Amino acid sequence: MATRAARTRFACRECGYESPRWLGRCPSCQAWNSLEEFKPAVPALVSSSPRPQTLADVDRSPDARARTGLSELDRVLGGGIVPGSVVLMGGEPGIGKSTLLLQASHRFAEQHGPVLYVSAEESIEQVALRARRVGALSRALSVLAETDVDAVMTAACAHRPKLLVVDSVQTVAASDAEGPAGSLSQVRECAARLTRLAKAEGIPVLLVGHVNKQGLLAGPKVLEHSVDAVLYMEGERHTQFRTLRCAKNRFGSTDEIGIFEMAEEGLREVPNPSELFLEERAAGAAGTVIVATLEGTRPLLVEVQALVGPAPFGGTPRRQVSGVDYQRAAIILAVLERRCGLPLHSCDVFINVAGGVRLLEPAADLAVAVAVASAHWDRPVDPGTVVFGEVGLAGEVRATRRAERRAQEAAKLGFRRCVLPRANASPVVLRTGIECVGVATVAEALKAVDAAERR
Ligand SMILES: Nc1ncnc2c1ncn2[C@@H]1O[C@H](COP(=O)(O)OP(=O)(O)OP(=O)(O)O)[C@@H](O)[C@H]1O
Ligand SMILES: [Mg+2]
């Protein structure tokens, strides 16, 4: 589409905040000196009148998705890659973005035909070294080490791949756009050109994106708006697990996650993550409990750990939380203090979720409460018990969705008891074959897991 330049605007390099004038400090992320000038391109007025179509006449088979062959990636994408779609994958440096996309490219090439992998960050030799290590040596997979976006587009038009991967959108540049590669105007322009290519030629494009200090995709926010799906690869770099989450998806749910394990031969899919997360659990230790959580439609059993100790005299008690939301953890500690009588105001509290997993749903609340109480009393929770339930400010335990699925997963993995919200302890759940103990309050839950006896 033809474009014409509009009035100059300014956008924050860190968070994408846009302003009509320059500011020394970004009002959104508070970063200093982060606003950069750019010229937004606006669509030119088209002289010939466009012809609207009725949707029923648009020829598009509903199931045109192409599976990548990595089922964990396909799950997050909503079943596979839609032709002509643009997917942006973000993640911290070294988390495994290039590895995953190289493996996906290989599998895709084996099934569907030519794939063009553009490496703008690494030399062909570096990519080849990785390809050999992860076994991505399909004859239909071609690699191009190129940083000029127009050269990439020319190669894509000549090669006509079934999938184009660009690693990364911050390192390619358009020679006729302002600024160095990675600057706002360059990222914006390159993404726009590649998106146009995807839509015009029907070639799906996978873009790698860097994340900034806040963990968000670096570059203009408009980048996230203009692509069809945004995936984030997460995980502690020092644990072997990697989680693929979906922040946006025009063609599927954003609830699903994919779980991988980083190994010598690349990222290995983890079809049954619960077993893996429980492998190294500290069964029988005080301060740990298993939560039955749900990621998308998939139940996941993970270990929540807590450590509670006296705070240094006169000092502020420390609260260190990893894997669960800090604000939710603060609420749970307040509930334990006010509703269950635990004197946590004078204690340091550390909370962690094993395996680098991030628990986002409120159903993990009860497990945090139980783990902290167990750590405080130094009394282990029965290792055959799993818990789940949302905790309210009155100390009540609220119902969660799909309790039956969670209880089933716990039963499958050999757990004997499930402490769950009373409202969920329906006959259906009770039929799962696991002993279900319905609780209405956190205090009841603590009694049920046997952590409250030696107070
Ligand atoms: N020989 C190896 N054996 C096992 N794991 C390796 C090996 N080489 C690299 N890795 C893993 O791969 C990771 C790097 O993966 P990759 O280069 O795909 O990350 P990336 O997200 O693309 O990084 P960047 O942002 O720098 O491009 C390393 O952090 C390491 O965990
Ligand atoms: Mg990389």
Q: What is the DSSP string of 237-260?
A: TTSSEEEEEEEEETTS-S---EEE
pLDDT score of 1: 44
CATH homologous superfamily of 65-271 equals: P-loop containing nucleotide triphosphate hydrolases (3.40.50.300)
Interval between CA 239 and ligand 1 midpoint (Å): 13
Interval between CA 261 and ligand 2 midpoint (Å): 17
Ligand 1: residue whose CA is nearest its atom 28: 94
Contact 144, 118 (CB under 8 A): yes
Q: Which ligand is nearest to the CA of 97?
A: 1
DSSP 56: G
DSSP 63: T
Interval between CA 15 and ligand 1 midpoint (Å): 26
Distance CA(103)–CA(427), nearest Å, equals 45
Interval between CA 78 and ligand 2 midpoint (Å): 24
Torsion 247-252-256-261 (CA) sign = negative
pLDDT score of 185: 85
pLDDT score of 237: 67
Nearest 10 degrees: CA dihedral of 335, 340, 343, 345?
Answer: 0
Q: Among residues 344, 222, 371, which one has the least CA distance to residue 289? A: 371
Count other C-beta atoms under 10 Å from residue 452's C-beta: 17
pLDDT, tens only, 90-147: 988 899 999 999 999 999 999 999 999 999 999 999 999 999 999 999 999 999 999 9
Contact 223, 217 (CB under 8 A): yes
Distance CA(211)–CA(296), nearest Å, equals 24
Ligand 1: residue whose CA is nearest its atom 23: 94
Alpha helices in 113-145 (DSSP H): 124-134
pLDDT score of 425: 87
Which of 73, 92, 97, 236 to probe ligand 1 with, by most ligand atoms within 8 A of CB?
97
Interval between CA 138 and ligand 1 midpoint (Å): 20
Interval between CA 210 and ligand 2 midpoint (Å): 9
Interval between CA 192 and ligand 2 midpoint (Å): 21
- The mean per-residue pLDDT over the stretch 78-96 comes to 92
**How many residues would you count in the chain?**
455
Same fold, 65-271 and 276-448: no
Interval between CA 94 and ligand 1 midpoint (Å): 5
pLDDT, tens only, 296-335: 778 899 999 999 999 888 778 999 999 999 999 999 999 9
Contact 422, 400 (CB under 8 A): no
pLDDT, tens only, 249-269: 998 888 888 999 999 999 999
163-167/115-119 β-pairing: parallel
Ligand 1: residue whose CA is nearest its atom 29: 94
Distance CA(257)–CA(128), nearest Å, equals 29
Count other C-beta atoms under 10 Å from residue 12's C-beta: 24
Q: Which ligand is nearest to the CA of 90?
A: 1
Which atom of ligand 1 lies at the shortest distance from residue 102's CA?
18
pLDDT score of 444: 95
Interval between CA 182 and ligand 2 midpoint (Å): 15
Residue with the bigger pLDDT between 333 and 176: it is 333
Q: Please report, for residues 66, 230, 283, 396, the alpha-carbon distance to residue 214 in angstroms, rounded to integers and kept in the order given.
A: 33, 16, 35, 34
Which atom of ligand 1 lies at the shortest distance from residue 100's CA?
18
Task: Check pLDDT > 50 for residue 455.
Answer: no
Q: Which ligand is nearest to the CA of 167?
A: 2
Contact 277, 355 (CB under 8 A): yes
pLDDT score of 293: 93
Q: If you average pLDDT over every residue of the chain, what do you get?
A: 88
Contact 147, 172 (CB under 8 A): yes
Fold of 276-448: Ribosomal Protein S5; domain 2 (3.30.230)
Distance CA(88)–CA(167), nearest Å, equals 10
- The mean per-residue pLDDT over the stretch 408-432 comes to 86
pLDDT score of 363: 96
pLDDT score of 366: 97
Q: Which ligand is nearest to the CA of 130?
A: 1
- Residue ranges covered by each domain of the chain: 1-42, 65-271, 276-448
pLDDT score of 4: 47
Which atom of ligand 1 lies at the shortest distance from residue 122's CA?
27
Distance CA(11)–CA(21), nearest Å, equals 9
Contact 274, 108 (CB under 8 A): no
Which of 70, 88, 89, 98 to probe ligand 1 with, by most ligand atoms within 8 A of CB?
98
Task: Check pLDDT > 50 for residue 452.
Answer: no
Q: Please report, for residues 22, 242, 376, the alpha-carbon distance to residue 342 in angstroms, rounded to integers and kept in the order given.
A: 51, 35, 8
Please state at what angle helix 365-377 crosses helix 326-340, rounded to 10 degrees: 60
Q: Which ligand is nearest to the CA of 100?
A: 1
241-249/229-234 β-pairing: antiparallel
Distance CA(320)–CA(338), nearest Å, equals 20
Interval between CA 23 and ligand 1 midpoint (Å): 38
Task: Check pLDDT > 50 for residue 189.
Answer: yes
Ligand 1: residue whose CA is nearest its atom 9: 264
Q: Among residues 233, 201, 232, 245, which one has the least CA distance to residue 75? A: 245
Which of 73, 95, 118, 168 to probe ligand 1 with, by most ligand atoms within 8 A of CB?
95
pLDDT, tens only, 30-65: 888 888 887 766 555 455 577 888 888 876 665 578
Where does ligand 1 bind, in terms of residues with CB under 6 Å?
91, 93-99, 121, 133, 262, 264
Distance CA(16)–CA(226), nearest Å, equals 13
Burial annotation 337-352 (CB, 10 A radius, 16+ → b, else e): eebbebebeebbbbbb
Which atom of ligand 1 lies at the shortest distance from residue 210's CA?
25
The tokens describing 244, both together, are: 């693929």
Distance CA(99)–CA(101), nearest Å, equals 6
List, in sequence order, every residue forming a beta bridge with 210; answer none if it has no partner: 91
pLDDT, tens only, 216-256: 666 656 688 889 999 999 887 677 889 899 989 998 888 88
Q: Please report, for residues 8, 17, 26, 30, 178, the alpha-carbon distance to residue 22 in angstroms, rounded to integers and kept in the order given.
A: 10, 11, 9, 14, 17
Amino acid type, 228: D
**DSSP-based three-state secondary structure for 342:** coil
Ligand 1: residue whose CA is nearest its atom 16: 96
Model's pTM, two decimal places? 0.77
Distance CA(311)–CA(434), nearest Å, equals 39
pLDDT score of 19: 84
At 271, the pLDDT band (50, 70, 90 cuts) reads confident
Q: Which are the contacts of 151, defined by CB distance < 8 A and separation ≥ 6?
A: none
The tokens describing 298, both together, are: 């998939």
